Structures are given as C-alpha cells and as structure tokens.
Structure 1
C-alpha cells in the first residue's frame, strides 16, 4: 500500500469517525451507521493491503 493509499484510507476513517460522532450528537441513527461503515471499510482496506505486502514478500 503506497503512502497515498494509506493517507486516503486514514482520511476516510477520520471522516467516518466524524460522521459517527455527529450522528450521536444529533441522534441521527442513519448518519451514525454510515460513519461506522466508512470506518470499517477504511480499516479493512488497510488490513488487506498489509496482507498483500506479506504475501508479496514470500
């Protein structure tokens, strides 16, 4: 995973965190769920990229 990809994933994760917190503060369940989903997607991308690097090194 390149630095640019890592930065994009981290930005998506932070965006998801912000949405989730705003959803909590405004009692907006849909926004909270959307934020949680974005965070999960970003973390999965980072994990998948790490696995790809480990497989490439073998």
Structure 2
C-alpha cells in the first residue's frame, strides 16, 4: 500500500517538475519526491505490507 502511495507521489513530483509549475517551498517537487522515498523506505522495511496472515 505504501509503495502505491510512493508511486503516486513520484508521479506528482514528475508532473510538477516537467510542467514547471511554480509552487511554494513546502510543496516543491523535491519535497514531494523525498516524501515518496520515505514511503518507499517504510514499505521495504515491512511497514504497511497489507493484511497480516495469522498462524494456525
């Protein structure tokens, strides 16, 4: 789930950068990309992996 959110943020960051949209300093393409990298790191660490399969 976090990997999908990271992919969406990377796409938004690409659109901001490619269209040369001026935004404020908080919502710049670099900051959005860094948030996406953080979500991707959490996904790789195993946080937000989806349903937990229980043992029997």
Bigger radius of gyration among the two:
2
Gaps of 5+ in 1: 1-7, 51-58
Gaps of 5+ in 2: 48-56
The one of the two structures with greater contact order (alpha-carbon pairs below 8 A, sep at least 6) is: 2
TM-score by length of structure 1 reads 0.52
| Number of residue pairs the alignment of both structures matches | 43
TM-score by length of structure 2 reads 0.53
Cα contact 1:17–1:36 (8 A) shared by 2: yes
For 1:14 and 1:24, the matched residues in 2 are separated by 15
